[in-house]
Amino acid sequence: MKTIQFSNGDQLPMIGLGTWKSKPGEVYQAVLWAIEAGYRHIDCAAIYDNEKEVGNALEKAFKDGLVKREDMFITSKLWNSFHRLDDVGAGLKKTLKDLKLDYLDLYLIHWPISFKLGVGFAQKREDYYTYSDIPLSQTWQGMEQCQSAGLTRHIGVSNFNISKLKEIGRSCTVFPEMNQVEMHPFLPQEKLVNFCKEQNMLMTAYSPLGSGDRSTAVKKEDEPSLLGNQTVNEIAIKHSCSPCQVLIAFSIARGNAVIPKSVNKERIAENFAASEITLTEEDMHKLMNIGTSYRFVDGRFFTGPFSPYKMEDLWETE
């Protein structure tokens, strides 16, 4: 398995199993199938509401000798309602309990958005905190404390734009080591990728296949299809592989980790095999200039009429 390296030498397997949208009753077996297929990187989050089941699968894998804990790389994320300094550690400890682990390999601030403690998804103005109430620097201080306490080996963020990364950088002791964002040929994020490289910051691509299985409530009627795109399919035919594998190989070729989600045994193995595909410079040029620009996870559910947050708090404005 190809890896990318943190500054301290720790290795992150470039292909991980995503668990967002994996339903309880499915994710347990998916994690075991993934480990059997060779995955050593599992991406989780408290808000996915399936960490207990992931934890049960990891416990079985370790108990049965399928893999050792030290050979796995487990990522999870701090939900928006645990952004106060005093709550960050509690959020991580809850995740560790659910995953049945003593430590995480990587812990991320899931979104640069703050809810009040106990709120799952904010429905009214009173459910939100503002940046004046809880500056990102306060949440990041809590993340640094978790790392110092040995609860997580690495710390980073998810869905952070350059402005928010710079904001953390002005007061942090440890600069974020990872930024996990939506990335694929429709959204290559070149400006953000270049900034992160300048900061020696690793990146992980989520929704690399276009997240077609998202809830219809957060989908638009006219969404373009990554998997149905002509360029993607032509390159797949050229390499005798699937469109999914082309899209996964795209992220790997750019030096980024990638976390496709699946609960299907054959698809899990197929996704993992994408690391064997080497895209040419011509392939990458075509994919980087595919002619369609689209963000599937646009964050509008955090920026409604009752929210103190705006789209520019999430994404690059140019």
Q: What residues are annotated to the active site?
A: 48
Instruction: Print the SS3 string covering 231-290.
Output: HHHHHHHHCCCCHHHHHHHHHHHCCCEECCECCCHHHHHHHHHHHHCCCCHHHHHHHHCC
Which SS3 state, helix, strand or coil, does residue 18 take?
Answer: strand
Q: What is the dihedral of CA 289, 294, 295, 298, to 10 degrees?
A: 150
Alpha helix (H) residue ranges in 149-254? 162-169, 190-198, 230-238, 243-253
State which amino acid sits at residue 198: E
Inter-axis angle of helices 85-99 and 136-148, to 10 degrees? Answer: 50
Whole-angstrom distance, CA of residue 303 vs CA of residue 310:
5
Q: List, in order, residues 6 or more apart from 65 with CB less than 8 Å away.
A: none
To which residue do tokens 């006219």 refer? Answer: 222
| Residue 3 burial (C-beta neighbours within 10 Å; 0-12, 13-18, 19+) | middle
